[in-house]
Structure 1
Amino acid sequence: MAVEVVMPKLGMAMKEGTVSLWNKAVGDSVGKGEPIASVNSEKIEIDVESPAEGTVLKIEVPEGEGVPPGTVICYIGNPGEEVGTQLTSEPAQNAKAETQASKNEKTPSVKAVKKSEDRMKISPVARKMAEAGNLDIEKIQGTGPGGRITKEDVQEALKTQRGLQADQPKEARVVPQRKPVEKSQTQQVPLSGIRKVIAVRMHDSLQKSAQLTINIKVDVTDLIALQKQTAETVQKKYGHKLTVTDFIARSVVLSLKNHQDMNSALIEDKIHLFKQVHLGMAVALEKGLVVPVIRNVDESSLIDLSRNIKELAQKARQGQLSNEDMKGSTFTISNLGAYGVEHFTPVLNPPETGILGVGAVNDTPVYLGEKLERRSILPLSLTFDHRVLDGAPAAAFLQTVKQYLEAPITMLL
C-alpha cells in the first residue's frame, strides 16, 4: 500500500506550508529517511524525509504552491502501484478540500514533475549565481542532499573558471558578448515563505512608524584586549569563547535597564514599557533574515547570554527555530560587521522602539591628548521610533552603550 507524505506542521500558528524544492521526481527511487523535498512556512524551512523506502509514485503539490499542514504532498510505494484514496486525518482532508474548492474547477490537474534525468536539482540562489556567471549547471557537482547543487558548489565552480581564464594567454581569452536580456529570459520567483513575511513586515514598519537613525563611534581597543585575555580561560571553563558581539549584547542589555523608554513598544496609542529585556539577535540565512529571541536577558550573566546567542544562531541555520523562538522581543541587534559594512540604517522590528546596527571594527589613528595611537573603532547605528521618544533620550541610551563598551570591565562587575 502506498505511503502518504504530508505537509508537516512547523509551529502551532502555521496555516500554510509551501514546497520550495522537490529533490525527487515521479519514478525516482528513495530510501527511508532520505530528503525528498524542502518546505517552508513563514520564517522556517526544513527538509521533508521519506517515511519509507520505495518509489515516488505521485507528486500532489508542485513547487511554489502552498497547502495547509496535513495535506498529502506525494506518495511513496512500489513501482507500478496505484495510488488509492487513502485518508490522513479528517482535519487535514477538510483543509485540503477548502483549498481545492477555492480554485477554479476548470484548472487542469497538476502537471507531473519532470524526471530527475531531465531536471537538475539546484537551489534558486545557486541557479541565479550560475546564470550570472555563464556556468553550465550540468557540469557542476552538487554536494547537497540528493546531489542538490548549492550556492557553495557554484562559488567553487566560479573560482575554477576564473583560474582557467587567468592561465590563458590574453590573445586566447574570449570575452563573452552580453546579449540584451529579453523578457522571455527572465526568471520569475514567487514572493513566498520567509521573503514574503520579511517584505510585509518591513513595509509595514516603515509605513506605520516614524524612524530616525543616529550614529556613533566607539573605541573598543580595551574591549578587544579583554576579550583576547579571557578567551582561553572562558574556553576551558565554559566550553566556548566570548566574542565582541557577546559584549555588545551585554552592553545593550545593561543600557536598556537604565533607559526603559528604549525597551518599549507603541501599541494601540499606548506606550508599553517592559520590565524584562527580551533581546532579538538577527541571523542572516540563505532565504532571508530571522530574529530569534533570548528571553529575560536582564537576569542572565555574560556567559549565559553568550551561550544563548550561539545556541539560537545554530538552531536558525539548521532550520530548527519554532515560531515561539521568534516572538516577543523588546529590542533587536543586527550585526553586519562580518560583511565589512560600517554604517547602515537598520529597520525597526515592529512594534519595538529601537534596533541597534553593528558595523565592522576598523583600526584608525586617533589622538589621545598629544599622542597619536592606533585604536580599534566600532561604528554603531541606532534606529528608533520618534513617536515614542526624541533624539536626546535616544542619544543618551547610545552614550550609555558606548560607556560600557569603552570600559568593558564594568560589564563584569
Structure 2
Amino acid sequence: MAVEIIMPKMGMGMEEGTVVEWLKQKGDSVKKGESVVSISSDKIEKELEAPEEGVLIDIEAEVDDVVPIGQPLGYIGIPGESVGESTGPAPSVAPIKEELSAEPVAQQADEPVIGEEPRLRVSPAARKLAKTMNVDLSTVTGSGPMGRITKVDVAEAAQAQPAVQTETVPQTEPAPVAPVQFPDGKAKKVTGMRKVISERMFSSLQQTAQLTLQATADVTELLAFQKKAREAYQINDEVRLTITDFIAKAAINALLSHKGMNSHYQGDMITTFDAVHLGVAVALDEGLVVPVVQDADKKSLSAISREIRKASKSARGSELNQLQLSGSTFTITSLGTYGIGFFTPVLNPPEVGILGVGTISEQPVYFGDELKKRSVLPLSLTFDHRAVDGAPAAAFLAEVKANLEAPFKLVL
C-alpha cells in the first residue's frame, strides 16, 4: 500500500510550506529514514525523511509549489504500484518535535472540491498552473493514475486553446534601436530560504516606519576587561566571552530599563514584555537565521555566551528547529567581522527594535586637551517609529553605550 509523504506542521503559526528541492526522483529507491525532499516554512528549511522503505512512485508537488499542512507531497510504494492502489489511510511522517498542538489534516488535493465535477483528481502543481494559464480543469483529461490531471495535461490543454485574434493596426516603421548588450550571466530562481528572507525583508520595510540612530562606544576598557576575564575564567568550547557576548548583555540590561524597546507591534496593539528573549542573527551561506536566547535577562554573562555559541554552531550545522528560531523580543546583528562600520539593519517584525554592530577601529579621541588612541565600536539602532519615539530610542542606545563603556556593570 502506497505511503504518503505529507507536508508537516513545523510551528504553531505554520499553515503551509514550500517544496525547495526533491532529493529523490520518481522511480528512485529509498530507505526508511533517508532524506527525500527539502521543504521550508517562513523561518526554517528542513529535509523530510522517508517514512517507509520502497520506491518513490509519485511526486504530487513540484519545486516551488506551496502546499497546505497535511497534504501529500509524494508517495512511496513498491515497484510497479500506483497511487490508486492504496486501500486505506497511510501513516504520516513523524510529527516535528516542536509541534505544540495537533490540527486536523487538510483536504487531500485529489478529493472533489466545490465547483468541480465529481471524482476530478488534480495535483496541486497542476491546479496552480491551470489558474496561471486560465485553463478550465473540467475540460482537461488526466493522464495520471486514476485519471489524475498533471501539469503536463494542463500545459497541453493550454496549447490546444484557440489563440485570441487581435486586429492588426497599421503603424509607421519605428526607428531602429540598438539592442542592449549584457554580459553573459547565470540566472538562478529565488527559492527556499533566500525567497523567504526576501519576502520578509520587503514586508518589513513596507509595513513599518523604520528609523535608524547611530552612536559610537569607546570600548577600550571593555577590551581590556574581556582579556582579563578570559584569562581568569576557565575558557572552553562552550564559553569564549566574545565581544558579541558583552554587547548582548549590554543590550539586555538596557532593555530592562527601556521596556518600550522590548515590545511587539501587531495590528493596532503594542505588547511590552518583562522578559527579554534575545535574537542573535547568524549569517549562513544560504541566508540569515536568528536563533533566540530565551529569558536572557535571567542569565549570567557566561550562560549567555554559552547559549550564543551553541546556537551559532547549531545554525551552521542546520540543526536548529522552529522553536529555537521563534519568540524573540529584540534582535542584535553584527557585520563587524566584515569591516563594516555603521549600517541600517532591517527590523524583524513584530519586534520594534534591532541593534546593528559594526567593526571596532582605532581612532584618536580627545581627553581634555590630550589626544589618545582609543578603540571605538559603531552602533546602529533601527526602531519602529510607530511604537517608539526618537527620544526614548536614543535613551536606550545611550544606555547600551554606557554599559559597554563601563564593563563592570555587565557582571554585577
Normalising to structure 1: TM-score of the pair? 0.72
CA contact (8 A) 1:6 1:70 kept: yes
Structure 2 residue matching 1:94: 3-state secondary structure: coil
1:240 maps to 239
Name the structure 1 match of 2:411: 412
Q: Does 1:85 find its partner at 2:109?
A: no
Output the CA distance in 2 between the equivalents of 1:38 and 1:237: 35
Give the root-mean-square deviation of aligned CA atoms: 3.3
Measured in 2, the distance between the counterparts of 1:340 and 1:42 equals: 30
Higher mean alpha-carbon deviation, 212-221 vs 102-111, is at 102-111
| 1:310 CA displacement | 2.6
Q: Give the stretch that moved more between structures: 98-107 or 50-59.
A: 98-107
Q: Distance in 1 between matches of 2:344 and 2:235?
A: 38
**Cα distance in structure 2, aligned partners of 1:74 and 1:17:** 14
Deviations 1:370-406 (A, max 9, x none): 5554432211001123333433332222121111111
Identity %: 48
Partners of 1:361 and 1:377 within 8 A in 2: yes
Structure 1 contact 214–381 (Cα < 8 Å) conserved: yes
CA–CA distance in structure 2, aligned partners of residues 22 and 394 of structure 1 = 46
SS of residue paired to 2:382: strand
Taking the aligned partners of 1:270 and 1:48, their CA distance within structure 2 comes to: 37
Tell me how far 1:298 sits from its aligned partner.
1.7
The farther-off stretch of 364-373 and 353-362 is 364-373
- Inter-partner Cα distance in structure 2 for 1:209 and 1:13: 21
Residue equivalent to 1:109: 150
Q: CA deviation at 1:347?
A: 1.8
Equivalent AA in structure 1 for residue 150 of structure 2: S
Q: Indicate conservation of the 8 Å contact 1:278/1:295, yes or no.
A: yes
Match of 1:30 in 2: 30
What are the residue-to-residue correspondences of 1:12-411 with 2, within 5 Å?
A: 12-83=12-83, 84-85=85-86, 87-88=89-90, 92=105, 94-97=107-110, 100=122, 103=127, 104=130, 105=137, 106=140, 109-110=150-151, 180=182, 187=187, 189=189, 193-236=192-235, 239-269=238-268, 271-369=270-368, 371-411=370-410
Distance in 2 of aligned mates of 1:69 and 1:367:
61
C-alpha spacing 1:232/1:43, structure 2 compared with 1 (3 Å):
same
CA contact (8 A) 1:11 1:322 kept: no
Q: Per-residue displacement from partner, 1:345-368 (whole Å, max 9, x unpaired)?
A: 112222333211111122334444
SS at match of 2:244: helix
Residue 47 of structure 1 aligns to a residue whose secondary structure is strand
Q: 1:22 and 1:271, CA in 2 relative to 1: closer, same or farther beyond 3 A?
A: closer
Question: Which is greater in Rg?
Answer: 2
Alignment check: 8 A CA contact 1:8 1:70 kept: yes
CA distance in 2, matches of 1:376, 1:110: 61
Q: What SS does the corresponding residue of 2:304 show, helix, strand or coil? A: helix
Q: Which residue of 1 aligns with 2:160?
A: none
Call closer, same or farther: CA 1:367–1:332 in 2, change over 3 Å: same
**Which residue number corresponds to residue 154 of structure 1?**
none
- 8 Å CA contact 1:67, 1:96 repeated in 2: no
Residue identity in the other structure for 1:88 = A
What is the distance in 1 between the residues matched to 2:106 and 2:250?
51
Say which is worse superposed, 290-299 or 93-102, in terms of deviation: 93-102
The number of residue pairs the alignment matches comes to 345
Distance 1:270 1:94 in 2: 34
Q: CA deviation at 1:251?
A: 0.3
Name 1:116's counterpart in structure 2: none
Deviations, residues 229-253 of structure 1 (Å, cap 9, x unaligned): 3225444478421111110010011
So what's the TM-score if we normalise by structure 2?
Answer: 0.72
Tell me the residue number matched to 2:168: none
* Structure 1: runs of 5+ lacking an equivalent: 113-178
Structure 2 unaligned spans of 5+: 93-103, 114-121, 131-136, 143-148, 154-180
Cα distance in 1 between the residues matched to 2:7 and 2:272: 40
Deviation of residue 259 (structure 1)? 2.0
Question: Compared with structure 1, are the counterparts of its residues 264 and 30 closer, same or farther at alpha carbon in structure 2 (3 Å cutoff)?
Answer: closer
Given the superposition, is the C-alpha separation of residues 390 and 8 from structure 1 closer, same or farther in structure 2, using an over 3 Å criterion? closer
Residues 89/285 of structure 1: CA separation in 2 closer, same or farther (3 Å cut): same
Aligned-residue offset at 1:186:
6.6
The 8 Å contact of residues 262 and 353 in structure 1, kept in 2 or not, is answered as yes
> Alpha-carbon deviation of 1:45?
0.7
Matches of 2:81 and 2:250, distance apart in 1 = 63
Q: Contact (CA 8 Å) 2:365, 2:373: kept in 1 or not?
A: yes
Per-residue deviation at 1:325? Answer: 3.4
Change (3 A) 1:276 1:101: same
Q: Is the 8 A contact 1:70 1:88 kept in 2?
A: no
Letter in 2 for 1:388: A
Letter in 1 for 2:43: K
| Contact 1:344/1:381 (8 A) holds in 2 | yes
> Quick one: distance in 1 between partners of 2:48 and 2:336?
34
CA pair 53-312 structure 1, distance change in 2 beyond 3 A: same
Cα deviation, 1:312-341, whole Å, max 9, x if unaligned, reads 334434444444434433222111222222
Distance 2:35 2:231 in 1: 40
